[in-house]
Each structure stands twice: as structure tokens, then as C-alpha cells.
Amino acid sequence: MGGAAVNTNDRHGNDRLKDLTSWDADWRGLRVVVTGIGVSGFSAADTLIELGARVVVVDAATTAKAEAQADTLKIVGAVDVLLGPNAVLTIPEIDGEKPELVVTSPGWRPDQALLAAAKRAHIPVWGDVELAWRLRERKGRKTADWLTITGTNGKTTTVGMTESMLQAAGLKAIAVGNVGTPILDALRDPVDYDVFAVELSSFQLHWSHTLSPAASVCLNVAEDHVDWHGSYDAYLADKAKVFENTRIACIYNAEQIETERMVENADVIEGCRAVGFTTVTPAISMLGVVEGLLVDRAFIPERKDSAAELAALSDLGPVAPRHLVANALAAAALVRAYGVEPAAVREGLKHYLPGKHRIQPVSKHGDVLWINDSKATNPHAAAAALAAFENVVWIAGGLSKGVNYDDLVRDQAHRLKAVVLIGTDTAALEASLQRHAADVPVIGQPRSETEEARTSGTDGSGKDVPPIFGDTVMAQAVAAAARIAVPGDTVLLAPAAASMDQFSSYAHRGDAFIQAVRDLVEGDPAEGKAQTTEE
């Protein structure tokens, strides 16, 4: 790892922006375009209005929700809101001049017309996380430290575990960022937080420039969001930004060389350590597993010849698949770097409540287990889910995002009893199944449903969005799986693809699965109501 001082200058060299590094800096009159009026964009615009900036918000949407958000922003301060497809094609002027800054919602692609125009015009582009970092210091308020978390999979679980461990240590901590709570909202919360557990997507990292966390981790990487980033190498480069300017410890996955190389190439603050985690016996300066225990050989004085016990695998719950163990170790490494004692690690794991849609048991009916892992939006996540079960009827498919399914299907084919396809973009998955699991029956989606997937409306960046008919699709998929599954089988929803072709989100997709399973089970007169598990 290289040593580097934090560079608070924006990389575009804007003289005024380089001085905007606290809440109390002079933000008044700053001309800012905010792209997107969703959760992140609304939070950014609301914050900038409070700071006295001159704000224009643009979004391609013309929905009732977008209109309501626009009306709210107009009430709270001086802001213009431009809605509709044409609003996102060019850079709007503010008070007759070009903007000094664009703050973008994380999902907006760099090649989107307005953002590409900003680059050509040398107008700096920040994400809401970059804005939050520059606002973190405020007179009369405590400045929270940041522990930053990224990875292709496991981010939300790890950030939740990190939050739970920090709170078990008596710290005022909150999970923010991509997990759902905008970090700008947490900054404006009257609570003086000690530390933020910050979940960062590759999109948020792409638009971040000056973050300097206390500790950071990249949990894992696999091919994902290639369509957004342009290439897998570009995706990796954005993920690697999580380690830049880290002060205490860069945490990497010792079982994946890519994350270790990210740390080796990162510019960090002098004295920052590299600490690995592994699901087997750890080497020195690592966390790992020994005889059913999670142990620390990094943050103890006698680490050369001993380890500190942090928790037992049983503390993770009745089932502790490998990826969950890895997430727990990564969270433990972050908080141990921050000074949290082992006892709080264990208590945090015991009190952690897993979120929905990640290997979530839904029902056990007629000795068939139904599992919702709608959050498995890429092959890497789906592989982790499949590896936890045998004799699987797999419900899969959706927006593939340009990924390759060959490794997933080849490695997991022996577990597959049948595959039930959903989604409008299943060609790549079907081809991989034919190449590597030709003997596994594949049940396709009814053609009429696929043909109905026509675009209507746009999202914030102007991309077409199809109508939502996913509840019907999922009901048909669950019914097909039920006809195949026999006692001892697992029906697993782990789509290995994004959801927005037929659902509003992965949560909508998972909820549709849960409802379809419960409708099926409760409508079976032979069995009656099955045992179900609710979050």
C-alpha cells in the first residue's frame, strides 16, 4: 500500500469547490444541478437548499411521485425542478450561467447525455456520498467516523452486522448509504453519531473522490454491472476506490486475490494496515475460523502465536453458510480496527437480525423447503445461495446486465433438479444451461407473458421501464416449481439477474415470491397451512 495525504481538491481543479470541505463552508449561491429526484437525489437537493445553494433538479420521470417530490422541494426552498425526457438531455443554466457542480444520483450512468455533457464542459460531478463526506464536519456537532463497505455481494448483511457490533460496544452507530438510509439524512439527524457503517455500491464509488474512512473493506468481486461500467476492469477500478485514503486498516478477502491486489495498489494514509479475512485457519494479521470459532490474529499484541476468540459459528444462527461466515469476519475486522472489544463482536452477531430477501426461509411444506434469495442479482450471489442446498428447483432469470453464467451453471449443475425461468432476458442463462447442464429440465416462462413486456415511461436517466406484471409471472413460476418438487427438495429463488424487467425492485420480486408461495400452500386442502417463517 502506498502512503498519501488526503487530497481535498476536486480532480477537476475547481477553485471554489476545493474549499467546500465542511458544513460551515460557504455553500451560499453555489450553482448546482442535481440529477434524479428519487431517494438520493431528493436528499441531496434538500441538503443543498438548506446550505443556501442555488439548485436545479432534473429527472426524466413525469410520474405522480416525481411531481409530489418536486412540489415538496419547491416548498422547502429556492429550487427549480425540470421533469420529462428532454430535461435530462442537456445541462440547464442557473441564473443565466452554467452550473459549477453536478450532484448525481448513483444509478445514472457516466455516458448519460447530461453527465457526458458535464464532463465535456469540465463541470465536476459528485455523488451524494461525496457531498456527504465534504459536509461531515460541522461546528458544535460531533464528526462521525466512517467504516466503508463494498463488494459484489454481502454488502447489506455486512453493514448490518457492523452496525450491530458497534452498537453492542456502546457506540452511537447507524448503517447508511446504499443500505437504504441516505447518508445525508443521517448527517442532518440531531443524533451525534460516533460512527457510520457505510454501504457503498460501485456506482456510488464511481462518483466519490475524496473519502478517507477509518477502515474499509471490499468483500468480494465478480462480474456485475458491466453494462453500467463499460467493462469488468472498470467495475473493479471503481470497487477499488473503497480503499483510497483509508487511515487505520484496509480489510480484504484473503480467498480472492483481486481484493488483495486492490489493497496493494491503494494510496492510503501512512500507518494504515492490510488485514485479511478467511473462512479457514487464518495466517498472522488475518481473521478466520478455527474449530468452529471466529478468531482474530490481527488486532492482538501476541498475534504471532495465538488468536483471540470473537464468536462461535453457532452465534450466526442455525445455518451458517460460508458466505455468511465471511461477512461476519469482514464486519468483525472493521470494528476490531476501530477498537471494539471481542465481547461486543459476539453480542453484535447474536443480536443481528438478517434482512429479507437473502436466503430467507419462507415455508416448509410437505418437506419441501422454499427459500427467497431475491437479492441474488448476479451469478456470484446465486452461486453462494445454491451452494447451501442440495436437490434444488431453481427459479432464475431477469436482466442479466451483460454477465456470463457459465461458471455458475458448471459449478452448481450437480445440485439442480430443474430450472424455472423468469425474466425477459434469459438467453445467456439458457445457453449456459444447455452447455453445462443439458440433462437438467428447464421450464420456460409462458411466451405471452414475455411478449407483454413492453416499455412504458422512463426512469430518472431516461431509460425505458417496462410495465410491472411480475406478480403474475412469479405465481406461474412458483406453481411450476411446485409441480416438480418432491419431499427433500429445496425451491430456491436466486435469480442471478436484476429485477427491473418485470418487477420494481429485488424486494418486490422477493415479496411476490413469498406471497405466491403462501397462496399456494394455504390453498392446498390436503396439507392445510404450512409452517412459514416471517421476518
Pairing of strands 293-296, 286-290: antiparallel
Does 143 show up as a binding residue in the annotation? no
- C-alpha cell, 243: 480503499
- C-alpha cell, 297: 490474529
| The amino acid at 78 | A
Cα–Cα distances in angstroms (integers) from residue 176 to residues 173, 209, 447, 461, in the given order: 10, 18, 41, 24
- C-alpha cell, 492: 430456491
Does 245 show up as a binding residue in the annotation? no
Does residue 360 contact residue 371 with C-beta atoms inside 8 Å?
A: yes
Q: Can you name the residues that pair with 269 across neighbouring β-strands? A: none
Buried b (16+ CB within 10 A) or exposed e, 155-183: bbbbbbbbbbbbbbbebebbbbbbbebbb
* Residue 440 DSSP symbol: S
Q: Can you name the residues that pair with 372 across neighbouring β-strands? A: 360, 493
- C-alpha cell, 504: 420494481
Q: Which of 377, 389, 383, 397 is nearest to 476 (CA)?
A: 397
Does 156 show up as a binding residue in the annotation? yes
Does 278 show up as a binding residue in the annotation? no
Residue with cell 448525481: 104
Cα–Cα distances in angstroms (integers) from residue 426 to residues 64, 271, 444, 451, 499, in the given order: 32, 48, 9, 13, 12
Cα–Cα distances in angstroms (integers) from residue 359 to residues 53, 433, 531, in the given order: 44, 23, 17
Does residue 327 contact residue 157 with C-beta atoms inside 8 Å?
A: yes
Kindly report the backbone phi and psi dihedral angles of residue 149, in degrees, each rounded to the nearest multiple of 5, phi listed first: -135, 125
Phi-psi region of 321 (alpha: psi -120 to 50; beta: other; left: phi over 0): beta
Cβ partners under 8 Å of residue 365, min gap 6: 521, 524, 527, 530, 531
Sheet holding 293-296, edge to edge: 173-177, 195-199, 145-150, 215-218, 249-253, 273-277, 286-290, 293-296, 308-312
Four-point Cα dihedral 162, 165, 166, 168, nearest 10: 160
Does 104 show up as a binding residue in the annotation? no
- C-alpha cell, 141: 456537532
Kindly report the backbone phi and psi dihedral angles of residue 355, in degrees, each rounded to the nearest multiple of 5, phi listed first: -80, 170
What is the 3-class SS of 416-435, one letter each residue? EEEEEECCCCCHHHHHHHHH
Q: Can you name the residues that pair with 59 across neighbouring β-strands? A: 83
Q: Which of 218, 169, 232 is nearest to 378 (CA)?
A: 232
Q: Which residues are annotated as a binding site?
A: 151-157
Binding positions for ATP: 151-157
